[in-house]
Chain A
Amino acid sequence: KNQVEQSPQSLIILEGKNCTLQCNYTVSPFSNLRWYKQDTGRGPVSLTIMTFSENTKSNGRYTATLDADTKQSSLHITASQLSDSASYICVVIGGNNNDMRFGAGTRLTVKP
């Protein structure tokens, strides 16, 4: 079983709408969590990093939250744009060797 589970697998929303992507993890001990954006045919690019002590962090229209007690993170996208269409990957760094564990990603499609 993957130690990082993301939901939903895919999501379609209309331009201008908000959405929230979920990431649940079991990686322990926990060091930090990153959200990556991957455009079709491109490599993943880091959006934000959440450390153990951080609950919320924003990067423009993207806001990530972290609840280290329940081992959950979310990525909220506000006022979606067509360019937000991409896969969003949750990566948890932790374990004994600070390994990186990747979720399978959420495929977001923003339609006009």
Chain B
Amino acid sequence: DAGITQSPRHKVTETGTPVTLRCHQTENHRYMYWYRQDPGHGLRLIHYSYGVKDTDKGEVSDGYSVSRSKTEDFLLTLESATSSQTSVYFCAIRIGGTGAGGELFFGEGSRLTVL
């Protein structure tokens, strides 16, 4: 258990509404990530953070923004949710740095349904 908590775990919302998912860690790790997981696809990186207020885009960042105002919290925001953003979202922390030995530890996921 790497001390990662995601909230909410389940959410149903309507197209066009804003949504924020929260990832909280208890161990002050520097690197945090947001992925989405869809059937037939591997986990795809949305955004990541390498420190407070330091974030960067992943391969599927369109329609998403992130913020990290504290080491322990990494927020993912959908400004105006679309049905294509229906997915399961996973937060992860990377322990061991970004070198080859670094390992990802995942949260339990947040299932988002956009109607």
Contacts and interface: CB of A to CB of B under 8 A. Distances in A.
| Same complex | yes
Secondary structure at chain A's binding surface: helix, strand, loop or mixed?
strand
Interface string A43-72: 111100101000000000000000000000
A51 B107 CA distance: 25
A102 B42 contact: yes
B72 interface: no
A26 interface: no
Secondary structure at chain B's binding surface: helix, strand, loop or mixed?
loop
Given A103-B42, A105-B42, A42 B109 contact: yes
Contacts of B43: 44, 89, 102
Most buried by A among B42, B101, B103: B42
Interface residues on B, range: 20 to 34
A98 interface: yes
Contact of B100 (A31, A41, A91, A101): A31
B90 A43 contact: yes
A104 interface: yes
B76 to A, nearest CB: 15
A32 B102 CA distance: 10
A98 B99 contact: yes
Contacts of A89: 42-43
Contacts of B42: 2, 4, 89, 101-105
A42 B108 contact: yes
Contacts of A91: 104
Interface of B: 4, 40-45, 90, 92, 98-109
27 contacts: A4-B42, A31-B99, A32-B101, A34-B103, A41-B108, A42-B108, A43-B4, A43-B108, A43-B109, A44-B43, A45-B106, A46-B103, A46-B104, A46-B105, A49-B103, A89-B42, A89-B43, A93-B102, A98-B98, A98-B100, A100-B45, A102-B42, A102-B43, A102-B44, A103-B42, A104-B42, A105-B42
User: What are the 8 A-B residue pairs with the smallest beta carbon separation, nearest first?
Assistant: A102-B42, A43-B106, A31-B100, A102-B43, A104-B42, A44-B106, A32-B100, A103-B42
